[in-house]
Amino acid sequence: MLKTDVRYLKGIGPARGRQLSKLGIETIYDLLLHVPRDYHDRRIITRISSLVPGTEVNVSGTVVSSVYLKSRNGKRRLESIVRDNTGELKLTFFHFSYIAERLKPHTRIIASGKIDYFGGISIVHPELIFLDEPDSDTRLVLPLYPLTAGLSQGVMRKLIDAVLSEYASSVPAVLPPDVLVSMGFQNRSEVIRKVHYPDDPDEGFRARRTLALEEFFVHQSLLNYVRTQAAKRTGIAMIPPDGTLAEFAGGLPYSLTGAQNSALEAIAADLTRNVPMRRLLQGDVGSGKTVVAAAACSICCRSGYQAVLVAPTEVLASQHHRTVSAMLEPAGIRCGLLTGGTKISQRRILLESLLDGSLDVLIGTHAVFEERVVIPEMGLCIIDEQHKFGVEQREKLLSEREPSPHFLLMSATPIPRTLAMTFYGDLDVSVLDEMPPGRGNTTTRVMNRDSRSSVYEFLLDRMGKGERAYIIYPLREASKELDLKDAATSYEILKRGPLGGFGVGLLTGAMKAEEKLEVTGKFLSGEISILVSTTVVEVGLDVPEATVMVVSHAERFGLSQLHQLRGRIGRGGSNSWCFLMKSEDCGVEGARRLAVLNSTDDGFRIAEQDLKLRGPGEVAGTRQHGIPAFRIASLIDDSDLLEQAASMAGSSNLWESLRDEYKLRFRGLDILEL
């Protein structure tokens, strides 16, 4: 029942369904878990004589009069005067069809809302409690929910009230009973009821903490399960010929950094043991993870096994195919590329050569997870930008195999160090904390819209010198709702302007795989110098000639996301420039956030700041960048709960009973594990 789509509920049509969906609410369960961001405490009553404009207050009094007035534009409004024994306050209503009936003189009410100055001190559209009416909502502590355009607190409360009374009693248990009791609750239904309607705000916040603990617990239980399962498996002890790594390194046009060498040593040691490797290779954008992956493949293939390298996008997969095969094929290791866009005939050849062992390394996208892709001698599985994949997907590739392949996850995930231990748990972690030498400097500038023409001049100058640029927009196409510049429109404009002569291309997520590959190919070869795009370029694209990046409406992006984007430039030897263009309505808060990028290029620090500064709206942006998106829990404020959840999960082994809970809760959120 909890899985039931909210659109089947009374009062929810397609439009309301879309609004709810923007808040991540698809099911009845989602509604139950739509936790208030705060509470409105109507127990505290302010005297009318001491009201201050701009404050949220509750006023208790008696209606003196209610009159209809007409404003200059012909709109009618209702003004009611309320009196307590200290003074009078005006309540103003623009929609009043049924409220008017109830605001007759002598009616006793509590009015709540923000004090405005609207031709005198006033509350516009206050929330009302009618003290003399038995069926009025007289609960004194009311939930304030996260909302979206078109949804009011009143509507949200009605929806949640309805599901609470019908379904709250049937929610399955999650936390062990003694833990619930220690948080001050008898059972889970009570927690869910109290989070929406607590007796006082503190009780509400305690209920929220309990649900946050639950959320971490469910997640940690999955990780715990995955780890225990993995620990039971036998691995493949690889025996590469002597000098394999030296030979690999000898073929490179550069020497490996100290960090790359130590990561490789650790990986090489893991591969020779008969326990499956589970290692995370973490390194900021541009730290050179790909070459480490290629070296691991060479050990695997020279030991007689096959390797798989999976990337989250076609563009990235084909780029990996290009760079990795250039490193491996000279040594006789054969690499193939399999993506959703691979032609059927080509796919057949690939699958056959995997089967007969003539293909050593398969590089691809999700397509490699398909069942018909059989890799008989798979010894090593590498997942790049691992946070883009779900844990289930990844485990599926590995779980049925015995002996189990070695496993290398790669990530630029800027998860703060303090949390990494809990998140990665038993995974071994290697960090590339050293950038390859010979990189130019990247200068980051936060710019006003007024400076557009100087940025344009700058681009003309740089392109004239044969360099390349990315121009990034938050949207791929013009939107009716949002007045933002978008990639498609700007592409059309830039193409026709003076920059057009340098070749302008458009890359967006909506394009077909072939089109994407074609345009990135042209950008790589220099046939076009300017790539207009969205955040699709943020993952892994490696074009060393790119030296300029311009990000429009920069404050709309998460800081980590901007950091990833910026990582696309400054990859070659020359200096680079990143221009973060603020919108007109950027605001002080937005400008302060952007300034963080000016002050540091340490991805970990940026992520930490991002977590601290981000408002609720930004969660969606960071979600895709490796910071797990929890619905209720906050990684900053609830980090103590995370530790508690980890130890509870380690000792309780409740995963089997929590599997459904996991699916219900994390569906669509694509929680980013390990």
Buried b (16+ CB within 10 A) or exposed e, 394-428: bbebbeeeeebbbbbbbbbbbbbeebbebbbbebe
Q: Given the structure tokens 């809970």, which residue do they identify?
A: 661
What, of Mg ion, ligand ADP, none, does residue 283 touch, CB below 5 to 8 Å by kind?
Answer: ligand ADP
Size of the site for ligand ADP (CB under 6 A): 18
Q: What angle do CA 597, 600, 602 make, to 5 degrees?
A: 110
Among 61, 312, 405, 540, binds ligand ADP (CB under 6 A): 540
User: What string marks each residue from 431 to 450 as x (binds ligand ADP by CB under 6 A) or -?
Assistant: -----x--------------
107 lines the binding site for ligand ADP (CB under 6 A): no
Among 184, 544, 667, 669, binds ligand ADP (CB under 6 A): 544
**Span from 37-45, 197-205, 251-259, 614-622 in contact with ligand ADP (CB under 6 A):** 251-259
Nearer to Mg ion, 122 or 282 (CB): 282
In whole angstroms, the minimum distance from the beta carbon of 607 to ligand ADP comes to 15
Amino acid at 187: N
In whole angstroms, the minimum distance from the beta carbon of 623 to ligand ADP comes to 20
* Rounded distance between C-alpha atoms, residue 628 and residue 314, angstroms: 24
603 lines the binding site for Mg ion (CB under 5 A): no
How many angstroms from the chain centroid is the CA of residue 576? Answer: 27
* Rounded distance between C-alpha atoms, residue 115 and residue 113, angstroms: 7
| Cβ-based neighbours of 613, under 8 Å, separated by 6 or more | 559, 589, 592, 593, 596
DSSP β-ladder status, 121-124 and 87-93: parallel
In whole angstroms, the minimum distance from the beta carbon of 571 to Mg ion comes to 11
Nearer to Mg ion, 34 or 568 (CB): 568
283 lines the binding site for ligand ADP (CB under 6 A): yes
476 lines the binding site for ligand ADP (CB under 6 A): no
Q: Is 264 exposed, middle or buried (0-12, 13-18, 19+ CB in 10 A)?
A: buried
How many angstroms from the chain centroid is the CA of residue 519? Answer: 27
What, of Mg ion, ligand ADP, none, does residue 257 touch, CB below 5 to 8 Å by kind?
Answer: ligand ADP
**Span from 85-93, 242-250, 283-291, 634-642 in contact with ligand ADP (CB under 6 A):** 283-291
In whole angstroms, the minimum distance from the beta carbon of 552 to ligand ADP comes to 24
In whole angstroms, the minimum distance from the beta carbon of 249 to ligand ADP comes to 10
User: What string marks each residue from 546 to 575 as x (binds ligand ADP by CB under 6 A) or -?
Assistant: -------------------------x----
What, of ligand ADP, Mg ion, none, does residue 288 touch, CB below 5 to 8 Å by kind?
Answer: ligand ADP
In whole angstroms, the minimum distance from the beta carbon of 318 to ligand ADP comes to 14
What, of ligand ADP, Mg ion, none, does residue 240 touch, CB below 5 to 8 Å by kind?
Answer: none
Nearer to ligand ADP, 116 or 433 (CB): 433
What, of ligand ADP, Mg ion, none, does residue 291 touch, CB below 5 to 8 Å by kind?
Answer: ligand ADP
In whole angstroms, the minimum distance from the beta carbon of 335 to ligand ADP comes to 16
Nearer to Mg ion, 414 or 540 (CB): 540
Measured at CB, which residue is nearest to ligand ADP? 288
Element (H, E) at 513: helix 513-525
Angle, helix 417-424 to helix 639-652, in steps of 10 degrees: 20
Nearer to ligand ADP, 584 or 602 (CB): 602
Q: Quick check: helix, strand or coil at residue 519?
A: helix
* Rounded distance between C-alpha atoms, residue 442 and residue 470, angstroms: 14
61 lines the binding site for Mg ion (CB under 5 A): no
540 lines the binding site for Mg ion (CB under 5 A): yes
In whole angstroms, the minimum distance from the beta carbon of 291 to ligand ADP comes to 5
Nearer to Mg ion, 311 or 619 (CB): 311
In whole angstroms, the minimum distance from the beta carbon of 26 to ligand ADP comes to 35
Buried b (16+ CB within 10 A) or exposed e, 101-111: ebbeeebebbb
Element (H, E) at 337: strand 335-338
In whole angstroms, the minimum distance from the beta carbon of 540 to Mg ion comes to 4
Buried b (16+ CB within 10 A) or exposed e, 626-647: bbbbbbbbebeebbebbebbbe
Three-class DSSP labels, 72-125 = CCCCEEEEEEEEECCEEEEEEECCCCCHHHHCCCCCEEEEEEEEEECCCEEEEC
What, of Mg ion, ligand ADP, none, does residue 571 touch, CB below 5 to 8 Å by kind?
Answer: ligand ADP
Q: Which of 169, 111, 168 is nearest to 136 (CA)?
A: 111
Among 112, 224, 290, 520, binds ligand ADP (CB under 6 A): 290
367: β partners: none
413 lines the binding site for ligand ADP (CB under 6 A): no
Nearer to ligand ADP, 287 or 552 (CB): 287
What CA dihedral angle connects 181, 186, 190 and 194, to 10 degrees? -50
254 lines the binding site for ligand ADP (CB under 6 A): yes
* Rounded distance between C-alpha atoms, residue 475 and residue 222, angstroms: 35
In whole angstroms, the minimum distance from the beta carbon of 671 to ligand ADP comes to 23
What, of ligand ADP, Mg ion, none, does residue 416 touch, CB below 5 to 8 Å by kind?
Answer: none
Q: Given the structure tokens 């980890």, which residue do they identify?
A: 646
- The CA-to-CA distance between both ends of the chain, in Å, stands at 31
Among 219, 289, 468, 631, binds ligand ADP (CB under 6 A): 289
Instruction: Yes or no: say if 352 and 578 are a contact pair by the CB < 8 Å rule.
Output: no
257 lines the binding site for ligand ADP (CB under 6 A): yes
| Cβ-based neighbours of 139, under 8 Å, separated by 6 or more | 197
Size of the site for Mg ion (CB under 5 A): 1
524 lines the binding site for ligand ADP (CB under 6 A): no
Please give the residue ranges that form the binding site for ligand ADP (CB under 6 A).
254, 256-257, 260, 283, 285-291, 412, 436, 540, 542, 544, 571
Q: Residues in the site for Mg ion, rule: CB under 5 A?
A: 540
